[in-house]
Structure 1
Amino acid sequence: MRALRRSTLAGQLLVFQVALVIVVLVAVGALSLAQSEATFNRVEGRRASALAEQLAANPLVRDNLAIPEQHTGLATLAQQFVVQSRVTTVTVADADERVRVSTDPIIERSPLPLGDRGVDTGSSWSGTMDVNGDRELVSQVPVLSVQPGEVGKHLGTVMITVDFPSVWERLRGASSYLLTYVGIALVLGLLGSWLLARRIKHQTLGLEPREIAGLAEHREALLYGIAEGVIALDPQNRITLVNDVARRLLDLPEHAAGVSLADLRIQGRLRDVLSGEGDARDEVVIRRGRVLVMNRMAVEKDGHRLGTVTTLRDRTELAQLEREIGSFRSSTQLLRAQAHEFANQLHTISGLIQIGEYDEVVSYVDAVSRHRESLDLTVNRRVHDNAVAALLMAKSSLAAERRVELRVSGDTSLERLEPADSADVATVVGNLVDNAIDAATGSPDAWVEVALHQDATTVEVVVRDSGPGVAPEVAQEVFTHGFTTKAAASGERGIGLALTRLVCQRRGGEVALSNTEDGAMFRAQLTVTAVAGAVTEPVS
């Protein structure tokens, strides 16, 4: 038993196939024996019945049976019949079913064994019977009188028996080439079993069942134990493997293995990343409100493409942290820009004092003050939410440093918001303004215009710029791919606009991009909660 357990997979398959071939051959032999027996019963039964009827019609048999105790010439006739007809025994019995003559001396002068009770009344019968312990094919036919006045009188019975052939004789009788066929089939079966065992061993890379089982267990532990999602596709884009993390992140059904991406209705950016041809590194995909980073690797063997394996990580929380860090970074840049602006103004004032232009100093300070007051008045009069107003004031300094004029539209109207709503609106405004400033920088008379509109439940943010606009082939994908407006010109990649859409969708809104005569225009909408006492106007 231990040796059997240690046998190789190829050896076990070979033994199994050989056993299967032998079983099939035995079944074929048994079927041949059954067919041979059926043929013998049918053919020899008919022949025995015909010979018995012929013997029963012989005048010598009738004449001897018509006279009691007479059997002149019957023994010789019976012996000749055995020799000429190649039967086993010939027996003649009288009307009382006592044997008169038989080539089998054991039953001579004894009662005739009957195969059916109707035989002693003149009926015929054919079948198998045990005669002296041997199974034989038997035919019993009545001898009837043809004498006038006694026509049809039962004079006796003729019985002819034929020995059943042995198993070997029946096999030889089934087909003279049966053993040859069986031998050829056995050789071919053994050869095929050996070739099959070799092929399976090659396909399993020489691994034994326990090794394959161990690899499967390790794979299951690896796939379902790691925190990253794993999804594998075949060349027809059918899912061959997916772990629980990937199913949860991609929102796939429980039995997704074997289903194609088309049947799962996976389209757009996600489909492009999963079904790409080559390798892909750190691709950003937005899926059902999640920011996913995906890495795809093509799998090949012997030059044949077997499919792809893609790993994915959930970066939603990390993106949130990046956004918060970005807010601090943006604040730092704004403070630096304001400090730079104040330093330039102080340097200008210092220079005017040094050259004695005191009247110019007064005029310059008055001009700077009026500009600051005008900007403060414009923003504070139209934007009553302190966080958004402060953001616009800071962005104005940053824009000025990059020689871009930041305008607040004359129809802007934004009331005080709840803290959570204010933070999301500020995020959307900040991302869109940053992208607009990047796009407008470098253009003649560069400008960015911001318009805010609010009704009872919705805030609309519209940001326009004087930049070159967004290329048509990118305009439909900037949010899905995570491009910024800067990326449209330089090809850099980011997730600013993708996060903007994520915030809008979480708020039950959307963000859209369109090109105007002057440049690009982003329009975002968010659902907010009205603050008690705030006066709002309908969004135009």
Structure 2
Amino acid sequence: MKLGRSLLLQDRVFLFAVVVIVVAVATSGAVSIRTMRSELENRSAECAVSIARTFALTEPVRENLGKPGGASVIQPIAEAVSLASGAQFVVTIDMEGIRYSHPLPDRIGKHVAGGDEGRALAGEEYVSRACGTMGPSMRAFVPIYSQSGKQVGAAVVGYLVDDMSREVGATLKKMYAALFVSLAAGLIGSSVLARNVKKAMFGMEPFEIASLLEQQDAILSSVREGIIAVNADGNITLVNDEAKRMLSIEEDMTGMPVAEAIPTTRLPEVLATGKPEYDREQVLGRTLIVTNRVPVVVNGKVIGAVASFRDNAEVKKLAEELTGVKKYVEALRVQSHEFKNTLHAVAGMIQMERYNDALDCIMQVSESRDKLVNFASSRIRVVPLAAILISKAGAAREQGVEFSISPASRLDEVPTCIDVHDLVTVVGNLLDNAMEAAVSDDGSCARRRQVHVALRQVDHGLHIEVANTGPAIPNDVARRMWVHGFTTKSDGHGIGLALVRDRVEAVGGSIWFERAQLESNFSTETEYTKTTRGEADSKTDAPIDSLTVFHVYLPVEDGYEHI
């Protein structure tokens, strides 16, 4: 029987740990030297650049570099900077490479050594290694400019390589002592670990554990939903590939606080309440997702939580066809109902032998609808948006609401920051809420029911205004109406306004509302846009004191900065 198979798991763990520790200690010296030297060089380079930048901005240096007698002014400053900062040398050269300062005064006035100064004299800032008059060194070059903005030379600040090597050697002595202690502690710890590892793995052998992990990784990588798991402290314990793709993150997120990695997450709330949340919309960076959040409960205690989510755009592609059919059906229903009523009226006039009145009625309906369609299609060049405005106008007629589009409205194209379907969702939800408010009991008493909409292309964005008559929004409702699930309707779901806000804020836009005087905020001239019967150039003169106006501003481009 082979030795590997005869050893128990705890024995193999102990031997493996011992081998790993010994190899680690044996190789740590070489690795540490390389690492520490690299770290020291990086720190020295950063320090040298910082000192050179500061020195290059010193007014006496800028004024005297390149001028006769300038070295007498610059040399004392360079010596003081070198002494205060710990740099081995601070050298100043003019555009010809002639030194104006040097740790060895007899080198002043001579050409700089090393041959790596050319890029600095061409205006470039960099760090290089070269052998100068004082030996091999790492030095930073920073251009120096006069008050007029003309380059007059360069500052050279550096550290000698031999000094850095001595510093590394002193540090390594301390490190080897620590490694010896670590080796002894590691051997003791390996013995303790080996005795408990079998118990910690629930009696499973390594190949069984490996099989389970492979199955888990395969499952997590194959699902099309992003999955993030956190522990009881809210720190991330698992992120699958799809979640990383949607978050645009490549590095490992394990151990990070989920609230820090994803500011909009609600997993901490799920951990606190122990209640799951299903099918919730959430803005993730610039992406709108649909997510489910479920607590992980073991023995009656919440030990973590899991969130699964998917890009709402993917679901939208599947739903576009159905939602399109729904919009067409709604538009056809409105038109069918509207024309049925008109036909009944015309039929009655014919029976009464009022032929001229019947003809006038037909012409009036046809002319009113043609004007509305022509206005919307000519001023609103975004076909889905023009279509929903025409559809909502028909719905308004059915409910006895005077629906008007501001004559100043115009939209040639959808802002690049938002999808046309999202824009239709925003406008459609606001118009639905406005019409419901206009036909409410308070809104219809002693007032005409009105809904006004305006779409204006302003500087750097699109401004949408939707106004309606009706009761003012109470303060307590105004504070909560943007929250998912809040509604004042008995059969509502509390999604509309929250959905609008999510769509707007996801692209860096803003939404707000106000209670405003009608005449100071909206022109009620409704030529070509009026949906109630009457003359095309009539003006609304009902005694309406104020309107509830919702404003939406969408930037031309994405309002978020990209890092």
User: 1:306: how far off?
Assistant: 1.4
Q: Which amino acid aligns with 2:428?
A: G
Q: State whether residues 270 and 295 of structure 2, in contact with CA within 8 Å, keep that contact through their aligned partners in structure 1.
A: no
**1:368-383 to 2 correspondences below 5 Å:** 369-370=363-364, 373-374=367-368, 376-377=370-371, 380=374
Q: Distance in 1 between matches of 2:419 and 2:243?
A: 34
Provide Cα deviations, 1:392-422, integer angstroms capped at 9, x if missing partner.
333211222234332223x533165489999
User: 1:244: how far off?
Assistant: 2.2
1:464 corresponds to 2:467: yes
Q: State whether residues 511 and 550 of structure 2, in contact with CA within 8 Å, keep that contact through their aligned partners in structure 1.
A: yes
Counterparts in 2 of 1:418 and 1:407: CA distance versus 1, 3 Å: closer
Q: Distance in 1 between matches of 2:419 and 2:305?
A: 44
**1:40-79 to 2 correspondences below 5 Å:** none
Q: State whether residues 504 and 524 of structure 1, in contact with CA within 8 Å, keep that contact through their aligned partners in structure 2.
A: no
1:413 corresponds to 2:409: yes
Counterpart residue number, 1:454: 457
Q: Which amino acid aligns with 1:243?
A: N
Provide Cα deviations, 1:338-397, integer angstroms capped at 9, x if missing partner.
11111111112223433xx233x6436535644663565467558623535554333211
| Percent identity for Structure 1 against Structure 2 | 31
Counterpart residue number, 1:430: 428
User: 1:239: how far off?
Assistant: 0.7
Counterpart residue number, 1:498: 499
Counterpart residue number, 1:363: 357
Q: Distance in 1 between matches of 2:4 and 2:235?
A: 40
Instruction: Give the unaligned 5+ runs of structure 1.
Output: 18-188, 530-540
Q: Which amino acid aligns with 2:307?
A: T
Q: State whether residues 228 and 313 of structure 1, in contact with CA within 8 Å, keep that contact through their aligned partners in structure 2.
A: yes
Provide Cα deviations, 1:217-261, integer angstroms capped at 9, x if missing partner.
222222233322111111111111112211232345613111113
**1:509-520 to 2 correspondences below 5 Å:** 510-516=509-515, 520=548
Counterparts in 2 of 1:466 and 1:274: CA distance versus 1, 3 Å: farther
Counterparts in 2 of 1:459 and 1:321: CA distance versus 1, 3 Å: farther
The TM-score, its normalising length taken from structure 1, stands at 0.52
User: 1:311: how far off?
Assistant: 1.5
User: 1:500: how far off?
Assistant: 7.5
Provide Cα deviations, 1:3-54, integer angstroms capped at 9, x if missing partner.
762555467679999xxxxxxxxxxxxxxxxxxxxxxxxxxxxxxxxxxxxx
1:525 to 553, 556, 559: 553
1:228 corresponds to 2:225: yes
Q: State whether residues 399 and 437 of structure 1, in contact with CA within 8 Å, keep that contact through their aligned partners in structure 2.
A: yes
Counterpart residue number, 1:349: 346
1:239 corresponds to 2:242: no
Q: Which amino acid aligns with 2:467?
A: R
Q: Which amino acid aligns with 1:412?
A: A
Q: State whether residues 415 and 556 of structure 2, in contact with CA within 8 Å, keep that contact through their aligned partners in structure 1.
A: no
SS of the residue 1:413 aligns to: coil
Q: Based on CA coordinates, which of the two structures has the bigger radius of gyration?
A: 1
Q: Which amino acid aligns with 2:409?
A: S
Counterparts in 2 of 1:309 and 1:469: CA distance versus 1, 3 Å: farther
Q: Distance in 1 between matches of 2:362 and 2:419?
A: 30
User: 1:465: how far off?
Assistant: 2.8
SS of the residue 2:203 aligns to: coil
Q: Distance in 2 between matches of 1:336 and 1:474?
A: 33
RMSD after superposition: 4.4
Q: Distance in 2 between matches of 1:324 and 1:473?
A: 39
2:313 to 313, 316, 329: 316
Provide Cα deviations, 1:174-204, integer angstroms capped at 9, x if missing partner.
xxxxxxxxxxxxxxx9xxx99994x654432
Counterpart residue number, 2:5: 5
Instruction: Give the unaligned 5+ runs of structure 2.
Output: 18-187, 517-545, 558-563
Q: Distance in 2 between matches of 1:223 and 1:255?
A: 15
Counterpart residue number, 1:131: none
Q: State whether residues 435 and 486 of structure 1, in contact with CA within 8 Å, keep that contact through their aligned partners in structure 2.
A: no
SS of the residue 1:516 aligns to: strand
Q: Which amino acid aligns with 1:5?
A: R
Counterparts in 2 of 1:207 and 1:325: CA distance versus 1, 3 Å: same
User: 1:458: how far off?
Assistant: 3.5
1:385 to 344, 362, 380: 380
Counterparts in 2 of 1:468 and 1:230: CA distance versus 1, 3 Å: farther
**1:71-470 to 2 correspondences below 5 Å:** 197=195, 200-252=197-249, 254-264=251-261, 266-267=263-264, 272=269, 277-323=274-320, 325-354=322-351, 357-359=352-354, 362-363=356-357, 366-367=360-361, 369-370=363-364, 373-374=367-368, 376-377=370-371, 380=374, 384-385=379-380, 387=383, 388-409=385-406, 412-414=408-410, 416-417=412-413, 423=420, 428-443=426-441, 444-445=443-444, 446-455=449-458, 458-466=461-469
